[in-house]
Structure 1
Amino acid sequence: MPVFAMLANVSGAPLMLTALALLFSNSYGGMVTHYGGAAGPVIFGVGYNDIKSWWLVGAVLTILTFLVHITIGIWWWNMLIDWNML
């Protein structure tokens, strides 16, 4: 992530907006797989879920989160920029 933040900063993108975008997109990997987040291996190791259901639910949650980030997130960031908070 530091490399992407540096490249965005050099290209003139707002640093706070870039950091927030990178942080929000970082959550996708933890949602999809049973080994992507810190709690995933523990929950999977106990046997609450099988791999197929984990990946299916993870894919659905990732798509829903992406849609929220694209719709509400972009609107919210524009509001923050208009209020000079970013």
Structure 2
Amino acid sequence: MNMLENIKQRVIREAEYIVKEESTIRKCASVFKVSKSTVHNDLSKRLEKVDHELYLKVRDIIETNKKLRHIRGGIATKEKYKELRHEKEES
């Protein structure tokens, strides 16, 4: 199996994972032990050439994640400061 075939298989596995789990690029990168940049390039450039139908599904999930990103960030920040306040009150 040559390197191009390895990359193609990785792209398909990442895309199938994103669709199955409705995952984020960050989570996918962590699972496959590659950088977020690699996953982003795989899914936004390479996948379209490999499997256009799968690319469309992944693109929709990524767009949804982008729309929800600011909400997730706000929730995480709120929880962080809530935890810090709780720790301060205990000490």
Larger helix fraction of residues: 2
* Greater Rg over alpha carbons, structure: 2
When normalised by structure 2's length, the TM-score is: 0.37
